[in-house]
Chains A and B, each alone.
Chain A
Amino acid sequence: MGIERLGEELIATLQVGPVEVSFDLPAVAVSLFVTALLVAVSLWLRRGLPREREGPLSRRAGFLAALLEISRSQLVAGFDEPLAKRILPLTTALFLYILLCNWMGILPIPYIVSPTQNLNVPMGMAIMVYVLAHYYALRTRGVRRHLRSYLEPNPILLPMNIVGDMGRTLSHGFRLFGNILGGAILIALAPALLARAAFLLPLAFPVGIGLDLFFGIFVGTIQALVFALLASAYINLAVSS
């Protein structure tokens, strides 16, 4: 653990025509690993479903049903039924993906960091939610009614509405990024500072573990929940406002 390592990244660059694309290798690797893990667990759970509809409920089916019930009651509570059904898979997937990404950050392996502390990952997801919200709004309400919602409550407020729309997406991405990166910096900083004073040295290890648990597990869970909740709330707002 060192403060020096925070700025250090393994970057691969790729020349595509005139554009140079750079990849943050640990973030890509961890996020691919998380994706593969989620897909594998999902396939394994699906294989445990009973064959016929009326068959006895297997343990995996029970687990799946409980998970769905929790995410339905937590993420899309009170939404219109068709909309809730359509965005439940999206928000559940967002929650599980961000949760596992955040938890990856506390593994004490060099270079393994949570992908969510790279601004591109949360901002990409926030922009995806923004585009999806407008897509669903256009599909359910039509172009005219959706565009007219920008003129409400008063046409003078049109610039405010547009800026507010952008700022909401910006803060949606920055919130996850800032929380996870801030936690990671504190986790690296506090033990290093304690280790500088000899009489505080024994404290460095427990403080490091405690910060790891608080920022990795607790804040990681809360932020994953908040990101998924806000994603569903923004889509619901765009569709039904």
Chain B
Amino acid sequence: MEISGADLITMARYLAAGLCMGIGAIGPAIGQGMAASHALDGMARQPEMENSLLRTMIVGQAITESTGIYSLVIAIILVFVAG
């Protein structure tokens, strides 16, 4: 089987999508974990603040997640749209 230029481009697209998602997920994962751990600290110290801490934590995590979402969008474009 001959490997043509188009095959190489397809391979590069999938490889790039995998790398993009894998590396791009590191940052948001660490950030979300830190937000959750500190929110848990706060809840353990002040259980009466639980509701507002939970809400703020979820919003903060959602904002932290945007960089991961950007890499997801790039990966989706690489796999489904480009080429």
Which A residues have a C-beta under 8 Å from some C-beta of B? 6-7, 74, 77, 171, 174-175, 177-179, 181-182, 185, 222-223, 225-226, 229-230, 233
Is there an interface contact between A6 and B69, defined as CB atoms closer than 8 Å? no
Return chain B residues, CB-CB under 8 Å to A74.
55
Taking A222-B62, A226-B58 as given, write out 18 further A-B residue pairs in contact, using a Cβ cutoff of 8 Å, ordered by the A residue number: A74-B55, A171-B66, A171-B70, A174-B69, A174-B70, A175-B62, A175-B65, A177-B73, A178-B72, A178-B73, A179-B69, A182-B69, A182-B76, A185-B76, A226-B59, A226-B62, A230-B59, A230-B62
Q: What CA separation (Å) do A223 and B52 show in the bound complex?
A: 17
Q: Which of B62, B65, B66, B72: most chain A CB closer than 10 A?
A: B62
Is there an interface contact between B66 and A6, defined as CB atoms closer than 8 Å? no
Return chain A residues, CB-CB under 8 Å to B69.
171, 174-175, 178-179, 182
Majority secondary structure of chain B interface residues (helix, strand, loop or mixed): helix
Which B residues have a C-beta under 8 Å from some C-beta of A? 52, 55, 58-59, 62-63, 65-66, 69-70, 72-73, 76, 80
A222 (CB) vs chain B CBs: closest residue: B58
B62 (CB) vs chain A CBs: closest residue: A226
Return chain B residues, CB-CB under 8 Å to A6.
80
Q: What CA separation (Å) do A188 and B58 show in the bound complex?
A: 26
Give min CB distance, B51 to chain A, whole Å: 9
Q: What CA separation (Å) do A166 and B61 show in the bound complex?
A: 21
Is there an interface contact between A223 and B62, defined as CB atoms closer than 8 Å? yes
Return chain B residues, CB-CB under 8 Å to A182.
69, 72, 76
Is there an interface contact between A225 and B58, defined as CB atoms closer than 8 Å? yes
Q: What CA separation (Å) do A177 and B55 show in the bound complex?
A: 21
Give min CB distance, B83 to chain A, whole Å: 13
Q: What CA separation (Å) do A111 and B62 show in the bound complex?
A: 28
Return chain A residues, CB-CB under 8 Å to B62.
175, 222-223, 226, 230
Is there an interface contact between B66 and A174, defined as CB atoms closer than 8 Å? yes
Closest 5 A/B residue pairs (Cβ)? A178-B69, A226-B62, A171-B66, A178-B72, A182-B72
